[in-house]
Amino acid sequence: MQNSPIFIASDLAASSFRTDDIPPKMAMTSEKQRNLPLCRAWRRVGGRIFDVAWSPASEQLCTAGEDHGLIWSPSDDGNEPCPTVKLVPDGGGSSGNQGGGCMRCAWHPSGKYILTGSAAGVVTVHSAADGSSVGSVRAAANGEHEVYGLTVLSNEGLLGVGVGDTVQQWDLLHARQTALTEFDAHESGVAFGGTRNPEGRAYVFSVAARGRVLSASLSDGTCRLLDAQSLAPLHVLDEHARRGASCFACALSPSSTQLATAASDGVILLYDLRQLKRGSLGELGGHTSAVHGLAFAPAGSLGSSVDDGELLTTGSNDGMVRIAGTRSCKSVCSLHVGGPVLCTAVDHARDRIASGGGSGACATDNVLSLWSSLPSGAATSPQPKSPQPKCGSCDDEHHEPDQPATEDSRMDEDA
């Protein structure tokens, strides 16, 4: 497959960081958490969900799944969501699953396009209207590695892609790679993958970007900070590595200078980008297994108190989505999903959380969940709906998800 030109005009402008004060270093306390006024709508899907992303207008949700990608149009009334458009990535394979399934997804700022990264190492640009392919680029030669990171970098059509042991920059206007940084395993890093990774390479598991900063979480336990325009290395955070854990996820706050990283041991660390030499300034616990989902939410959202400060939502293999206040490093809510959680996303405009996941071993725990705030005075934390008949637009049956898996499980991480 040859790269073909893709014309996309971006409206995304790099914004400057707000300089809010971040509290002194502390760990999450064990104080009794509150029961936030959230209700849940959920939907079982055919395969694991590896990534979720809200559209710029917050009207639609995209999921990247083991079988393919999907676009959803969730309602505000708590009814079960149904998919409206299927996204099949480019790049060889069977006719029904050409690109080997979707690993990552991201919306173009215009809302007219969706970008997916596949298990075959291909980035495809889809029309959000019907899911058709507008064009694609191959980020991994011969489909050797999956795409584990996907983020829009600038209003000039630049895209950041994490694949294998590299972060790449692509110019989608001309379908060409403009920069590449290859990572070596850090001296204090952990070996990941066992016999599946005999060379001990450091693979990218996620990327996040805001303004001139791009962060990449790596299998060796480090989080690497790069200049988003040149991909020049800026800083290495190795605290997870020194604890013997791989770094599975990273997130940059959209409204402050905070960076969050999550690891295979369930620990989440908070950093201030202005004070990186001080190390982590906060630690969030509570999860009993690997954390893959990280997303910031505004202070006072999701029914929380503004005193909690900016919120961080986390999703783990332990079957829980947790919400913590970054000012106090206290847990404010725990949400039971019923299966491993591999991704989370926050809809800032409509005060909603989306989470997705699955174990790959049990089809019944492949679940998309939507959590939204209840009106003032409504009962809190209602139970999921009773089993429903098959949806008219698909063949999935709707039942309450099983209990969380007791064994850590995620897709093979050896890239």
Average pLDDT over residues 213-232: 97
Q: Burial level of 173, CB count in 10 A (0-12/13-18/19+)?
A: middle
User: For residue 364, is pLDDT > 90?
Assistant: no
Is 84 in contact with 71 (CB distance < 8 Å)? yes
Ranges of each domain in the chain: 26-373
Question: What is residue 413's predicted lDDT score, i.e. its pLDDT?
Answer: 41
pLDDT digits (tens, 9 = 90+) for 267-294: 999 999 999 999 999 999 899 999 999 9
Question: What is residue 188's predicted lDDT score, i.e. its pLDDT?
Answer: 86
Alpha carbons 153 and 361: distance in angstroms, whole number:
35
Structure tokens at 342: 């591999």
CA triple 132-138-144, angle to 5 deg:
120
3-class SS at 277? helix
User: For residue 9, is pLDDT > 60?
Assistant: no
Q: Which residues pair with 39 in a beta bridge?
A: 372
Is 176 in contact with 170 (CB distance < 8 Å)? yes
Long-range Cβ contacts of 92-95 (<8 Å, 24+ apart)? 92/1, 92/120, 92/143, 93/120
Q: Which amino acid would we find at residue 160? A: G
Average pLDDT over residues 175-184: 96
How many whole angstroms from its chain centre is CA 61? Answer: 13
More confident residue, 413 or 304: 304
Alpha carbons 375 and 266: distance in angstroms, whole number:
32
Is 292 in contact with 316 (CB distance < 8 Å)? yes
Q: Tell me how far apart the terminal alpha carbons of the chain are, to the nearest angstrom.
A: 21
Average pLDDT over residues 196-219: 94
DSSP 371-387: EEEPPTTSPSSPPPPPP
Average pLDDT over residues 120-141: 94
Question: What is residue 37's predicted lDDT score, i.e. its pLDDT?
Answer: 65
Alpha carbons 270 and 64: distance in angstroms, whole number:
27
Question: What is residue 270's predicted lDDT score, i.e. its pLDDT?
Answer: 97
Instruction: Return the top range by mean pLDDT from 28-32, 222-226, 335-339.
Output: 222-226
Task: State the SS3 of 49-99.
Answer: EEEEEECCCCCCEEEEECCCEEEECCCCCCCCCCEEEEECCCCCCECCECC
Domain 26-373, CATH class in plain words: mainly beta
pLDDT digits (tens, 9 = 90+) for 13-43: 333 333 343 444 444 433 445 566 678 888 8
DSSP 346-358: EETTTTEEEEEE-
Instruction: Write out the E strands in 108-222.
Output: 113-118, 122-127, 133-138, 147-152, 158-163, 166-171, 176-182, 204-210, 213-218
pTM of the model as a whole: 0.83
3-class SS at 245? coil
Question: What is residue 382's predicted lDDT score, i.e. its pLDDT?
Answer: 42
Structure tokens at 358: 């699955």
Is 266 in contact with 285 (CB distance < 8 Å)? yes
Question: What is residue 30's predicted lDDT score, i.e. its pLDDT?
Answer: 37
Structure tokens at 10: 């971006």
Residue 29 CB: number of other CB atoms within 10 A? 12
User: For residue 336, is pLDDT > 60?
Assistant: yes
pLDDT digits (tens, 9 = 90+) for 81-92: 889 999 999 974
User: For residue 123, is pLDDT > 50?
Assistant: yes
Comparing 7-11, 129-133, 171-175, the range with the smallest average pLDDT is 7-11
Average pLDDT over residues 366-372: 91
Question: What is residue 98's predicted lDDT score, i.e. its pLDDT?
Answer: 53
In angstroms, what is the C-alpha Rg of the chain?
A: 20
Alpha carbons 293 and 160: distance in angstroms, whole number:
19
User: For residue 198, is pLDDT > 50?
Assistant: yes
More confident residue, 382 or 10: 382
Q: How many percent of the chain have pLDDT more than 90?
A: 59
Average of per-residue pLDDT values in the chain: 82
Question: What is residue 305's predicted lDDT score, i.e. its pLDDT?
Answer: 86
Is 276 in contact with 291 (CB distance < 8 Å)? no
Is 327 in contact with 313 (CB distance < 8 Å)? no
